[in-house]
Amino acid sequence: MKCNFKSILYISITLICSQFAHATDEINVYSARKEAYIKPLLDQFGQTHNVQVNLITAKADALIQRLLNEGKNTPADVFITVDAGRLHRAKQAGLLQAIKDPAILSQVPHQYQDADAQWVGLSVRARTLAYRHKNVKEEELSNYEALTNASWKNRICIRSSNNIYNQSLVAAMLAHHGEQATQAWADGLVANFARKPQGGDRDQIKALAAGQCDLAVINTYYLGKMMTADAAQQAAASEATLFWANQDDRGVHVNVSGVGITAHSKQPELASKLVAFLLTDASQAWYGEVNLEYPVRDGIEINNILQQWGPFKADTLNLTRLGELNAEAVRIMDRAGWR
């Protein structure tokens, strides 16, 4: 092979440029969010900050166990999941560290962040009521507490007790009413089930549309996704109308998707920058467009479907309580026969 000076110089410059192009920082993210709902944002962060973002997705409990197994040797810098209860589990297991950037903490309402600043919410998820407007009038509805009324006998669809969203709902009831009243409420709710709990929130909406029940307890974004899905799902969604529970008192039950910096992060400053990025205006608006969740920050423009559902009063309970009361909530559900 015959080479001249110019070709050698070109190759050298190319190699040097290539080295600089790949000489980026690296950060590792463990996420219980599905890849489609987080990777585009992580890719954007990587491009903006010249960072290689490595993403591992799995169920939240599996990721928590993985972090426990890896201990100080974990490569993870950031943990993302979709429920305050699981964020609390990670905290209690010693898997998170305090977020130190005051600019991050000042942006997130107090109720949507850990009391010790070990995690912050990224998006708000409302769990409320959907009713079959053919059989139910809006004036028949009021709050979660009224779901025990005899008028709802054999008319309510809801997921199983092993669903973390339901566990957090019961934990919120505990925080507001105490153990005795919450046990009575769970007993009454179970007595009004239209069928044995089964499937996800979309399945509750489908059952409602099929006339198997008249009322379902759901996270709102599931209904929104069905409204823009295939014809069968759109048809089912058209049978359901949202009702914002407890608007005359504490407000509708809400939860968050959230993020924390791992206790043994090798890149805590870079991890903090990523958390800050996930709270920017553009990121906050993106959650609504992609997953029909509400921004955790005020003043962010929301998706047309969310606008269609109108404003609502949200419970201001600090979501740390959902994790703290989770075990007691599960015991109450078990005693009530909620399977």
How far is the C-alpha of 208 from the C-alpha of 195, rounded, in Å?
A: 11
Please indicate whether the domains covering 24-124+255-307 and 126-253+319-335 agree at the CATH topology level.
yes
How far is the C-alpha of 289 from the C-alpha of 303, rounded, in Å?
A: 6
At residue 235 the predicted structure's pLDDT band, cuts being 50, 70 and 90, is very high
User: Are residues 301 and 108 in contact, defined by beta-carbon separation less than 8 angstroms?
Assistant: no
Identify the pLDDT of residue 201. 98
3-state SS of 128-196 is: EEEEECCCCCHHHCCCCHHHHCHHHCCCEECCCCCCHHHHHHHHHHHHHHCHHHHHHHHHHHHHCECCC
* Token reading at 116: 């010790």
Identify the pLDDT of residue 320. 94
pLDDT at 7 over 70: no
Please measure the distance between the N-terminal and C-terminal CA atoms of the chain and give it in whole angstroms.
Answer: 74
At residue 114 the predicted structure's pLDDT band, cuts being 50, 70 and 90, is very high
Percent share of the chain, pLDDT over 90: 92
* Token reading at 243: 């009702």
pLDDT at 294 over 90: yes
How far is the C-alpha of 161 from the C-alpha of 197, rounded, in Å?
A: 8
pLDDT at 23 over 90: no
**How large is the average pLDDT for residues 174-196?**
98
Q: How would DSSP label each residue in 43-79? A: HHHHHHHTEEEEEEE--HHHHHHHHHHHGGG----EE
Q: In CATH, what number does 126-253+319-335 get?
A: 3.40.190.10
pLDDT in tens, 115-130: 999 999 999 999 999 9
Identify the pLDDT of residue 38. 95
Per-domain boundaries in the chain? 24-124+255-307, 126-253+319-335
At residue 24 the predicted structure's pLDDT band, cuts being 50, 70 and 90, is low
How far is the C-alpha of 249 from the C-alpha of 81, rounded, in Å?
A: 29
CATH superfamily of 24-124+255-307: Periplasmic binding protein-like II (3.40.190.10)
* Token reading at 218: 């759901």
How far is the C-alpha of 253 from the C-alpha of 304, rounded, in Å?
A: 22
Identify the pLDDT of residue 2. 38
pLDDT at 6 over 80: no
How far is the C-alpha of 19 from the C-alpha of 15, rounded, in Å?
A: 6
Q: If you average pLDDT over every residue of the chain, what do you get?
A: 92
**How large is the average pLDDT for residues 152-161?**
98
Instruction: Please work out, in degrees rounded to the nearest 5, the angle formed at the alpha carbon of residue 185 by the alpha carbons of 150 and 59.
Output: 120
The alpha carbon dihedral of 45, 47, 49, 52 has a sign of: positive
Residue 213 main-chain phi, psi, to 5 deg:
-155, 165
pLDDT in tens, 65-87: 999 999 999 999 999 999 999 99
